[in-house]
Amino acid sequence: MMSIDVPKGGDIEILFEDNHLLGITKPVNVPTQEDASGDPDLLSLLKQDLKERYNKPGNVYLGLVHRLDRPVGGAMIFAKTSKAASRLSETVRGRHFRKIYAAVVHGRLPARKGTLKHTLLKDSKTNTVTAVPKGTPGGKDAVLDYEVIGETDRYSLVHIELHTGRSHQIRVQMKEAGCPLFGDQKYGAKMNKPGQQIALWSVIAAFPHPVTKEEVVLQSLPAREFPWAEWPSQIYEEAFALNQRQ
């Protein structure tokens, strides 16, 4: 696998690349796009890499198709042409873009598998999201399927498939289910210690190629460190084998 150097050390793993798409593993704590922090952002880093790697004059186009929260890492796709970006956006809107995550949560969910449905409302001023009664002005439906694939005395390892792409969706819905994410400082401050890394990872992004229509599957697993390492690699490999989930 190729990789792209990141300022302050580390690199960005390239999972897939052709003339239309660039699939990568997003590093944790790197903003997806430029924000108020002024820190190096993923979109700018990738554009600069493409410019240098292909010796391109002028500005480089790279379309943002979906987002991951700053503290979250994992599989992510970008479009290298406006046509690919437009078609992928249609795929997302039509819900033909599969987004599968791994999460470590505190405690145990009420059932080993199920569907969570909430109405979520975002406060842009505070960048926080809350669950509100259905019909609340500005509220948006949020739906995900989950399955518990591992447990310890304190934590659960959860396979999550998103059916909607709301801001902070998994974090808020797991909190509402009584099981905030490990390390989530925003929605689980009472149960997490400052400085802990949120345990949420984009494991699979799968979609029809915008030009060839063949299925593209990006897959990434979190590093073998706490709390992910509480469970053997085999659990991840079996639970996130895409052909078992179709």
Length of the chain: 246
Query: Which residue, among 223, 226, 233, has the nearest Cα to 73 in the 3D structure?
Result: 223
The yes-or-no answer on residue 153 being catalytic is no
Structural contact between residues 82 and 90, judged by C-beta atoms closer than 8 angstroms? no
Residue 158 pairs with which residues in a beta bridge? 103, 148
Give me the catalytic one of 5, 49, 69, 184. 69
Structural contact between residues 185 and 196, judged by C-beta atoms closer than 8 angstroms? yes
Written as one letter, the residue type at 14 is I
Compute the distance between CA of residue 209 and CA of residue 20 in angstroms, rounded to an integer. 9
Sign, CA torsion 223/202/122/22: positive
Which residue is associated with the tokens 């003339």?
A: 19
Which burial class, exposed, middle or buried, applies to 135 when counting CB atoms under 10 A from its CB (0-12, 13-18, 19+)?
exposed
Tell me the CB-side half-sphere exposure of residue 22, using CA atoms within 13 A: 24
Q: What is the dihedral of CA 184, 186, 190, 194, to 10 degrees?
A: 70
Residues designated catalytic: 69
